[in-house]
């Protein structure tokens, strides 16, 4: 049951706030979280600070402080837009979904009990609105009718034919066609608009849950614990989804960089 993603202004269960820490900007200027590994779910001083920052921000918002609201908007708007774009067909609809989300945030402020991190709460509202909108557009099937994540399903990260067979006399299951280094790809090409387009395309081709996880983890720089909380995933399933998503995105980039 995904009961804690079923309605808009719903708060999380008690006891989750220690893991849903860090009200750091979603626009992770410090880069993806994966390059700065942080232990999952460990209550930390940073978590307490973030909870305190949430409390202060909430008080300011409830008091009608415009600056506090704009701070929140500047911090999360672009992230919310990217999340919305994973579910709806175009930018205009995504913008509407995000605007609706902000309104719902304001209207829900009074009821929000702060048991989950503010950003977790906001993102849940966004995801619910985006999914509702996508269903109305006939763009996706209702979430509950999607097959559950099958972590046992065989989904190799790399095409099996790139390895020697398991009974190879010298190199069983070792690289037959190893990857080529990207060290020689010029920086200009790595950071080119086309590379970013290919990345977005590769993400758009992923199943919905994999998209959500890779977006929050590797684009927005959330911690594993925050993603587990927001998407109601176990740590293991979060990691499986992340692994599959990253593996496919790497493959797409490899195809692209190997083209020339």
Partner 1 sequence: MNAPSDLTCQELVELVTDYLEQTLAPAERARFEEHLAGCPGCQIYLGQMRQTLKLLGTLSEDSIEPAARDQLLRTFQHWKRDAEAE
Nearer to partner 1, 6 or 173 (CB): 173
β-sheet bridge partners, residue 175: 163
- Applying the rule CB under 8 A, the residues between 209 and 228 that interact with partner 1 are 214, 218-221, 224
Q: Judged by CB under 8 A, does residue 11 bind partner 1? A: no
Q: Is residue 30 exposed (0-12), middle (13-18) or buried (19+ Cβ within 10 Å)?
A: exposed
Q: Which two tokens stand for residue 249?
A: 């995105």
249 binds partner 1 (CB under 8 A): yes
Question: Rounded CA gap, 70 and 78, in Å?
Answer: 13
Q: Is 106 in the site for partner 1 (CB under 8 A)?
A: yes
Taking the least distance from each CB to partner 1, the nearer of 153 and 191 is 191
Is 93 among the residues that bind partner 1 (CB under 8 A)? no
SS3 category, 163: strand
- Does position 103 interact with partner 1 (CB under 8 A)? The reply is yes
Residues 57-76: x where in contact with partner 1 by CB under 8 A, - otherwise, as a string = -------x-x--xx--xx--
List all residues 6 or more positions away from 242 whose beta carbon is below 8 Å from its beta carbon.
210, 213, 214, 217, 218, 224
The nearest distance, CB 1 to partner 1, in angstroms, is: 26
Tell whether the torsion through CA atoms of 84, 90, 91 and 95 is positive or negative: negative
Please list every residue from 25 through 44 that binds partner 1, using CB under 8 A.
26-28, 31-32, 34-35, 37, 39-40
79 part of the interface to partner 1, by CB under 8 A: yes
CA dihedral 142, 221, 192, 188 (to 10 degrees): -160
65, 146, 166, 198, 201 from 120: Cα distances, Å: 21, 23, 45, 28, 26
Sequence-ordered list of residues with C-beta below 8 angstroms from that of 10, at least 6 positions apart, any chain: 4, 124
Kindly tell me which of 81 and 143 has the beta carbon lying closer to partner 1. 81
Closer to partner 1 at the Cβ: 31 or 142? Answer: 31
Q: Judged by CB under 8 A, does residue 183 bind partner 1?
A: yes
Burial of 191 (0-12, 13-18, 19+ CB in 10 A): exposed
Please select the residue that binds partner 1; options are 48, 156, 189, 255, rule is CB under 8 A. Answer: 156
Residue numbers at the binding site for partner 1 (CB under 8 A) = 26-28, 31-32, 34-35, 37, 39-40, 64, 66, 69-70, 73-74, 77-79, 81-82, 95, 98-99, 102-103, 106-107, 156-158, 160, 163, 166, 170-175, 178-183, 190-191, 195-196, 199-200, 214, 218-221, 224, 239, 242-243, 246-247, 249-250, 253-254
């Amino acid at each position: 049951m995904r009961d804690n993603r079923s309605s808009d202004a719903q708060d999380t269960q008690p006891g989750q706030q220690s893991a849903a820490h860090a009200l750091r900007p979603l626009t992770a200027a410090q880069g993806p979280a994966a390059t700065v590994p942080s232990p999952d779910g460990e209550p930390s001083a940073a978590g307490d600070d973030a909870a305190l920052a949430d409390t202060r921000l909430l008080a300011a918002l409830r008091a009608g402080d415009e600056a506090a609201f704009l701070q929140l908007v500047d911090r999360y708007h672009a992230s919310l837009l990217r999340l919305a774009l994973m579910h709806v067909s175009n930018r205009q609809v995504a913008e509407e979904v995000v605007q609706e989300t902000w309104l719902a945030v304001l209207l829900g402020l009074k009821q929000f009990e702060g048991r989950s991190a503010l950003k977790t709460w906001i993102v849940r509202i966004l995801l619910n609105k985006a999914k509702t909108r996508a269903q109305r557009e006939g763009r996706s099937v209702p979430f509950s009718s999607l097959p559950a994540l099958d972590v046992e399903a065989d989904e190799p990260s790399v095409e099996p034919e790139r390895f020697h067979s398991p009974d190879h006399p010298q190199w069983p299951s070792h690289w037959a066609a190893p990857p080529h280094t990207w060290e020689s790809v010029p920086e200009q090409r790595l950071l080119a608009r086309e590379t970013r387009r290919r990345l977005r395309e590769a993400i758009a081709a992923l199943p919905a849950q994999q998209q959500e996880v890779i977006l929050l983890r590797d684009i927005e720089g959330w911690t594993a614990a925050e993603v587990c909380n927001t998407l109601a995933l176990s740590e293991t399933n979060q990691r499986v989804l992340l692994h599959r998503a990253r593996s496919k995105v790497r493959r797409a980039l490899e195809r692209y960089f190997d083209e020339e």
